Structure 1
Amino acid sequence: IGKWHLKTDPNFDYYKVLPGQGSYMNPTFKEKGKGRVKMQGHSSDCITDSVLAYLKNRDKTTPFFLKYHFKAPHDMFQNAPRYESYLADVEIPEPESLWDNKNNGSIATRGHKDELLRYIGTSIGRRNLRRNYTKNWARDPALNDDQAKRQAYLEYLKKFLRCVKGVDDNLKRVIDYLKENGIYDNTVIMYTGDQGFMLGEHDYQDKRWAYEESMRMPFIVRYPKTIKAGTRTDAIVENVDFAPTILDFAGVATPKYMQGRSFKSILETGREPRDAKQ
C-alpha cells in the first residue's frame, strides 16, 4: 500500500498503490479489483488511512504481510498544511561542507580548472547556474551568495522535515492500532528508506552522488521476542536480503531462485557470521 513506482502492477493478494511517482496532494491510487481510486488529502494521510482500513478488514485468523510505503519525503517536498508552522522560528545550523566542500570530486566532475563546478549536481546555493534552490526559496536579488544559500538551505530542510513529521505521525497511528489490538509485540517491524539523502551536504541536494550521506540508509527492526532493544551492527546487508530475512522470521526456507540471504541471526545476536558479506 502506497508508493510502488514500477511499471508492472504488484502481484499481491491485495494492493493499493500510487501510479508512477504519485501526487503529494489528493492522490489517485490503483486498487486491486477497483482500478483508479482518488482520495482527498495529503498522500501520507491517505496511505495510512488505507493501511488502517486493510488491517481492520483483514482475515484476523491468519498472519499478515504488509508493505507500507510513503511518497514523502520525496523531492519536491509538499507537507500537509497542518505542519506549515512546524520549525518556522527555528534556526538550524548548516553542515560544514555546505560552505567548505573539501572533497568535491575529481577532474572528471570538477574539470581541469574547476570549470564544471557551475554545472555539476543540483546545488543549494547559486553554484549551479541552472539548477539551484535559491531559485525556489531565495529569489531576492539583494541577497548576496552566502545569504541566499543560507535562506535556501533553511527553507529546503524545513520542508523536508515537515514531510518527515507527517510520516512520523502517521506511523504512530499504525503502531497505536497494533498496540490496541494486542499484536504489536508479535509483529516484525522493518523501517527503512530507499536510499540516503543529501540535505545541503557538499552543497548538493538529492541522492545521486556517492557520498556517505547518500549511500547510508536508515534501517531499524523491532521484534522484542528475539531482537534485543538497542542492538547495533555495522554488518553489510542489501535489499535482496530483505525477503529471505522476512521468510526466515516466518519459518519459511528461502527459495533457490532468490539471490539474497537472511540476516536474521545478525539482528538477533548483533554479530556477523564468518561468511558474511564484506
Structure 2
Amino acid sequence: MSIDMSGREVALIGVPTDVGASDRGASMGPEALRVAGLRERLQAHGLVVHDRGNLSGPANPWLPPVEGYRHLAEVAEWNRKAHEAVHAELTAGRLPIMLGGDHCLGIGSISAVARHCRETGRKLRVLWLDAHADFNTSAITPTGNIHGMPVACLCGFGPAELTGIGGQVPAISPKWIRQIGIRSVDAGEKRFVHEHDLEVFDMRFIDEMGMRHAMELALATLDERTHLHVSFDVDFLDPDIAPGVGTTVPGGPTYREAQLCMEMIADTGRLGSLDIVELNPACDVRNRTAALAVDLVESLFGKSTLMRKSSRG
C-alpha cells in the first residue's frame, strides 16, 4: 500500500530540555535533527513543513530527587508548554512532530493528543518505540528521573502536576498503548507493567516472531476513527547503529527491522502525531544518530524500500 502524504501540513516543535533525564545533552536534540535535514527531507515527500522553532522553559537545575521525583516543577512546566503547543497544531489540522528533549515530554505531547481525540470523538493508539517501558513511579524508581515515568503518569500513576496535564486523569488507558523494542525494565516496574496489562512486544518477542508479526499485532484493529501517535525514543534502536543516546541498551532493532517498523506504520495511513526524543548529540559520532533518526522518520512519511509491486494497494 502506498500512502500519499503530499500537501499534508506538519509542524516541528522543538522542546530543548534534558530536565527529566539522567544525562545532560538531550536538550541539543532538536538542533541536531534540524542539522540532519529533517525539514528538507520531509518537504521532499511533498509535506508542507512549518518549523515553530524551540519552546522556552526552565533551565535544568541538576539537583537530586525530592520525594522520589527529580526536577518535578521544571518537568511539569516543560510538559505544560509542550501540551499546549501540540494541541494547538492538532486543533489547526496540522500533524505535530515534537523534537525532544528527553522522554518525560511524552506526558505533554500524548496528553495533548488524548485531549484532541476526546474533543473530536476519535480513538487513540499509541506506539511506544523504546528500549524502556517508562512505567516507573516514585515508589519503584531507582533514580527519580521522570523520563522513566511518562507512561505511568499518562495512565494516572504519578503526581497531580503531571497526571492532570490535559484536564483528565488518567489521560489514556493502558489498553491504548503498544510498546515495541523493550529490553530494559526495572524489577518493580516489570511487576507494575504486568499488573496493568500493558501490551509489550519486547526484543525476545521480536527475535522469536519477527518485527513484521509484532507490528501486525501492534497495528491491528486500527480504523478511520483512530488517531495513531508514535513516540519514538531513539534508544529504541540498537546502539551499534544509534550511539547518540544517554541510556544505551544493547540488543535493539537493526536498521532493517527499524525500517520495516516505520514502513508498516506508514502503510496504515493513520499517523497523526509524532515524538522524536532522547537524541543526545553529546554522545553521538558526527551526528550519525540524528541522520539515522531522520532517515527513519522519512520512512514514516512514505519513503519505502519496496521495489516489487504491492499486492495490497
Name the larger-Rg structure: 1
Higher strand proportion (structure 1 or 2):
2
Higher helix proportion (structure 1 or 2):
2
TM-score normalised per structure 1: 0.32
Structure scoring higher RCO (CA < 8 A, sep ≥ 6) equals 2
